[in-house]
Amino acid sequence: MIRKEMIAMLLAGGQGSRLGVLTKNVAKPAVLYGGKYRIIDFSLSNCINSGIDTVGVLTQYQPLKLNAHIGIGKPWDMDRIDGGVTILSPYLKAEIGEWFKGTANAVYQNIQYIDKYSPHYVIILSGDHIYKMDYSKMLDFHKENQADATISVINVPYEEASRYGIMNCHANGKIYEFEEKPKNPKSTLASMGVYIFNWPILREYLIKDNECSDSENDFGKNIIPAMLGDGKSMWAYQYSGYWRDVGTIQAFWESNMDLVSRVPQFNLFDPEWRIYTPNPVKPAHYIASSACVKKSLVAEGCSVYGTVVNSILFPGAYIEEGAFIQDSIIMSNSRVCKNAYVNRSIISEQVIIGEKARLGEGADVPNEYKPGIYNSGITVVGEEASIPADAVIGKNVMIDIGASAADFTSLNVESGKSVFKGGVAE
Distance in Å, CB of 286 to other proteins, minimum: 6
Distance in Å, CB of 288 to other proteins, minimum: 6
Q: 198-218 burial by CB neighbour count: b if 16+ within 10 A, else e?
A: bbebbbebbeebbeeeebebb
Binders of other proteins: how many residues, by CB under 8 A?
A: 36
Under the binding rule (CB under 8 A), the answer on residue 48 touching other proteins is: no
Under the binding rule (CB under 8 A), the answer on residue 338 touching other proteins is: no
Q: Are 24 and 370 in contact (CB under 8 A)?
A: no
Nearer CB in complex with other proteins: 248/334: 334
Closest CA to 418 of 20, 17, 16: 20
Binding mask 236-265 for other proteins (x = CB under 8 A): -----------------------xx-x---
- When binding is defined by CB under 8 A, the residue of 146, 172, 184, 289 that contacts other proteins is 289
Under the binding rule (CB under 8 A), the answer on residue 174 touching other proteins is: no
Q: Are 342 and 353 in contact (CB under 8 A)?
A: yes
- When binding is defined by CB under 8 A, the residue of 91, 281, 424, 426 that contacts other proteins is 281
Nearer CB in complex with other proteins: 316/360: 316
Q: What are phi and psi of 388, to 5 degrees?
A: -65, 155
Scanning residues 57 to 116, which ones bind other proteins (CB under 8 A)? Answer: 75
Under the binding rule (CB under 8 A), the answer on residue 294 touching other proteins is: yes
Q: Are 384 and 378 in contact (CB under 8 A)?
A: no
Which range of residues in 51-59, 82-90, 289-297, 336-344 is near other proteins by CB under 8 A? 289-297
Closest CA to 278 of 26, 29, 38, 33: 38
Nearer CB in complex with other proteins: 124/313: 313
Nearer CB in complex with other proteins: 298/419: 298
- When binding is defined by CB under 8 A, the residue of 68, 288, 363, 406 that contacts other proteins is 288
Distance in Å, CB of 277 to other proteins, minimum: 8
Under the binding rule (CB under 8 A), the answer on residue 336 touching other proteins is: no
Nearer CB in complex with other proteins: 201/268: 268
Closest CA to 193 of 207, 174, 180, 205: 180
Q: Are 338 and 323 in contact (CB under 8 A)?
A: yes
Give 123: exposed, middle or buried? Use CB within 10 Å, 0-12, 13-18, 19+: buried
- When binding is defined by CB under 8 A, the residue of 300, 321, 355, 361 that contacts other proteins is 300
DSSP secondary structure letters along 105-158: HHHHTTHHHHHHH--SEEEEEETTEEE---HHHHHHHHHHTT-SEEEEEEE--G
- When binding is defined by CB under 8 A, the residue of 255, 256, 296, 307 that contacts other proteins is 296
Under the binding rule (CB under 8 A), the answer on residue 297 touching other proteins is: yes
Nearer CB in complex with other proteins: 93/262: 262
Under the binding rule (CB under 8 A), the answer on residue 291 touching other proteins is: yes
How far is the C-alpha of 393 from the C-alpha of 251, rounded, in Å? 22
Under the binding rule (CB under 8 A), the answer on residue 285 touching other proteins is: yes
CA dihedral angle for residue 14, residue 15, residue 20, residue 26, rounded to 10 degrees: 120
Nearer CB in complex with other proteins: 274/356: 274
DSSP secondary structure letters along 36-55: TEETHHHHHHHHHHTT--EE
Under the binding rule (CB under 8 A), the answer on residue 284 touching other proteins is: yes
Under the binding rule (CB under 8 A), the answer on residue 212 touching other proteins is: no
- When binding is defined by CB under 8 A, the residue of 312, 329, 365, 373 that contacts other proteins is 312
Nearer CB in complex with other proteins: 137/294: 294
Please give the C-alpha separations between residue 358 and each of 81, 324, 343, 381, 413, in angstroms, as whole numbers: 52, 9, 8, 13, 10
Closest CA to 278 of 72, 87, 84, 26: 72
Binding site for other proteins (CB under 8 A): 34-36, 75, 259-260, 262, 268-269, 274-277, 279, 281, 283-289, 291-300, 303, 312-314
